[in-house]
A and B are shown apart, each in its own frame.
Chain A
Amino acid sequence: MPEIRVTEVSHAFGDGPARRLVLRDVDVTLTEHRVGIVGANGSGKSTFVRLLNGLVHPDSGTVTIDGRDTVRDGREVRRRVGFCFTDPDAQIVMPTVAEDIAFGLRRRGLSKDEVRARTAAALTAYGLDGHADHPAHLLSGGQKQLLALASVLVTEPDLLVLDEPTTLLDLRNAEMVRRLVDGLAQQVVLVTHHLDLLDGFDRVLVFDEGRIVHDGSPAHAVAAYRTLVAR
């Protein structure tokens, strides 16, 4: 598994009186296969995971993935870190399903035949077989999220970051995404409010007001999170 090393990171948004410290001295190293992140709205979870592929540059401190700095080697890091967002609509770039999966491959300069073969394999692997030429906007929410995931995974990242991938989905579609994530060989960092998604995870971080306030097994972390909320 890649080594995610976050060292003494603080980050604020806004200037002057509107300035808000969103991450405070976050210091953590993640090497586990499955890492979950929970915490209240606005506690800094999304900001934290956006650090991992250089979408957010830390005000102070450093973030490295296997020794590569996310700011200095941003390009290399983004090649190795796949990212899946909450809103599947905003992640789909091309009008049809197969074209969207092929998009990332074409950008990597693969031959036409290789793009075609890998796209076909991905369509099968992610259960989008009958939908190759379907317009992406006519898919269900769950299928859209599967497509977004397929389009990221087809480029074979070493680490997959998911920021609330099931928030907009119903139970059945969320289950579809959970099964897919469960079967992944690569390292996964998952932010979620659906606590049952974290069953079987190796490590769960609990965020509160920009700090990691608990770090441990899913059962302990969920208990800690519940106490935090009840406080």
Chain B
Amino acid sequence: MALTAVPLFLPGSSPVHRLGAGAKLLGLLGTGVALAVWRSPWQVGLALALVLALHAVARLPLRVLGRQVVGLAWVAVPLLVVQWVLASWQTGVGVVGSFVSLVLLAGLVTVTTRTTAMVDVVVRVCGWLRRFGVDPERVGLMLALGIRSVHVVLGLAQEVREAQYARGLRSSPRAFAVPLLVRSLRHADRLGEALSARGVDD
């Protein structure tokens, strides 16, 4: 996947942007549950239409959606074919349609919500964990680090690929995975140190 296929926060003032992060995350959760229960072709079609309408309401550039669709196609199309052959086209559309709707909705939430706002929601929701000795702030930090790490690891992946091209190596999965793993681990190590330096351990 190219670096650009990952949805990023885009500032804006649409109703979707202004909606609280808690409401958006709840909506995402609700949609996930609903699509697990109702996934006939027309129900899924309705969900997909709704998600696309929300993208329009958010006034996002079309290429944001386009990139995600292209990224998803790599998974969605083979999955649809397999389901169609093994089960029926209805099952295929149901499974793939609900998957695509959910991912696009999650993308919409990410693009219209600041990470900090999402982290705040997670910290609030996880408040009850305090009783069990879990620090909600830490859970929130993990989420933020997770999002940031996706970007960093994709960047590393690109670096590894470029380094291989530069040395004229044919791309093999192992020749790609091993250096990527090494770089990711080294990154995690340094990140840990930087976090301690910024007082996160205390």
User: Interface size (A, Cβ < 8 Å)?
Assistant: 30
Contact residue among A79, A89, A103, A133 (Cβ-Cβ distance under 8 Å from B9): A133
List the A residue with the shortest CB-CB distance to B115. A95
Instruction: Judge if A94 is at the interface, Cβ distance under 8 Å.
Output: yes
Contact residue among B116, B148, B202 (Cβ-Cβ distance under 8 Å from A102): B116
Whether the pair B202, A93 counts as a contact (CB closer than 8 A) is no
Would you give the 0/1 interface string for A125-153, flagging 1 where the beta carbon is closer than 8 Å to chain B? 00000000101110000000000000110
Whether the pair B9, A137 counts as a contact (CB closer than 8 A) is no
A53 to B201, CA, bound (A): 13
A8 to B35, CA, bound (A): 66
- Which residues of chain A from 157 to 192 have any CB-CB distance to chain B below 8 Å in the complex? none
Would you give the 0/1 interface string for B178-202, flagging 1 where the beta carbon is closer than 8 Å to chain A? 0000000001001101111111101
Contacts of A87 on B, CB cut-off 8 Å?
190
Main SS of chain A's interface residues? helix
Distance from A52 Cβ to chain B, minimum over Cβ atoms (Å): 10
Distance from A79 Cβ to chain B, minimum over Cβ atoms (Å): 6
A135 to B7, CA, bound (A): 10
Contact residue among A85, A94, A107 (Cβ-Cβ distance under 8 Å from B199): A107
Contacts of A90 on B, CB cut-off 8 Å?
187, 190-191, 193-194
Given contacts A83-B197, A93-B198, A102-B116, 4 further A-B contacts (CB under 8 A): A85-B193, A89-B155, A93-B148, A95-B115
B binding-site residues for A, Cβ under 8 Å: 3, 8-11, 114-116, 141, 144-145, 147-148, 151-152, 155, 187, 190-191, 193-200, 202
A binding-site residues for B, Cβ under 8 Å: 53, 55, 74-75, 78-79, 82-83, 85, 87, 89-96, 99, 102-104, 106-107, 133, 135-137, 151-152
